[in-house]
Structure formats: structure tokens, C-alpha cells
Copies of this chain bind each other. A is one copy, B any other.
Amino acid sequence: MLQLKEKILEEGKILSGQVLKVSSFLNHQIDSDLMMEIGREIAKRFQDAGITKIMTIESSGIAVALAAGAALHKPVLFAKKHLSSNVSGILYQTLVHSFTHGTDYTIVVEREYLSADDRILIVDDFLANGKAPEGLLDLIAQAGAEAAGAAFVIEKGFQEGGSRLRTRGLRVESLAVIDKMDQDGILFRD
């Protein structure tokens, strides 16, 4: 997605530890028009996949998921990271390891919102090591639902998440795949 790659080149900052900071438009501040365009691009790629619901994990996946959900006219379900007094139903839950924060956390969804009839599109802002989408795949499997694919705004192609998901047979669409980034700049996959 050309518009996205241009924005990454213009505003992205490479921090230490192979962190790409895109918080000016993707996951702290959000460029609303670009985000809706991202949603339309994801919808275009999965329009014939029979998607019934979009799933993501709070927080930075929510905007991407809503943009895709609005374009596909399908509901969004975001897994929550913390048990809260507002999560009162019976839950599907699983453990996810975060390399960013160096810790494990539990993600949960209420069972009533995920059924064996669902064909789920997983959506997130980044694909790096793939632990977050693997957690969602676990929740989807617990419900007996089907994962129809996964869409990411930015994939770090030099980390293992993409190949891990594709090896499972999952259809993965990333709108910008970065093969290399360092002080010389960012190299996108064609």
C-alpha cells in the first residue's frame, strides 16, 4: 500500500532494539483518513473470504479493526488484556508473551461473542514475533470458530511471526512488509 509506505518513510523513527516508532499516525496519534483507507484496503483483500467478524487485541489494534469492520460492515471483537468488572460473562482466555514489555499477559473474550459459525479475520497494527495473533488463534480454536485470515498494517519481515503464521496455513496480508531497517533507512519487500 503505497500511501502507507510513504507515510512510514516520512514519519517513522527507528529506535534501538529494532523498534519502529509510528506513533504519529498509527498507534498513539492516529491519522483518521489514512486509517479508514487502511481499513478499505484490508476489506478489499478479504471481501470474498466470508468474514463474519474481525478480531484484535486492545489497544493499538482497535482502530485498525474498526476501520476494517466499517469497510466490511462486520462487527469487531477486541480481546481484553485485563480482567475488569465490565467483563462479566464466561470467558475464553489464553496467555500471550509480550517481547515489548518482557512479560506474559492474559487475553480474554466473552464466550457469547465467538461461536462455531464465525469466520474470523484477525487484525493488528504490527506483526513481529506473532505471539499476539497466535493468542487470538487459540481463542478462535477454543470456540470452534474458523480463522479466515490475518491482516496487519506493518509486518517486520525480519522477525519470525509472518513465517510462523503462514506455515500454519493461515492467509496473511500485510500492507507494508519491512525486510530491513537500520540507520541507513527502511527497506520494504516488493
Chain A residues in the interface with B (C-beta under 8 A):
15, 17, 19, 21, 23-25, 27-33, 35-36, 54, 58-59, 62-63, 65-67, 69-70, 72-78, 80, 84-89, 100-101, 109-110, 112-113
Distance in Å from the Cβ of A57 to the closest Cβ of chain B? 10
Which of B17, B25, B30, B67 contacts A78, CB < 8 Å?
B30
Interface of A is mostly: mixed
Alpha-carbon distance between A59 and B85 when the two chains are bound, in angstroms:
15
- Asked if A76 meets B21 with Cβ closer than 8 Å, knowing A58-B58, A88-B15, A100-B85, the reply is no
Residues of chain B contacted by A33 (CB below 8 angstroms): 70, 73
Q: Are A75 and B31 in touch, CB under 8 angstroms? A: yes
- Asked if A76 meets B19 with Cβ closer than 8 Å, knowing A66-B35, A86-B100, the reply is no
Tell which of A74, A86, A87 has the most Cβ of chain B within 10 Å.
A86
Q: Are B62 and A21 in touch, CB under 8 angstroms? A: no
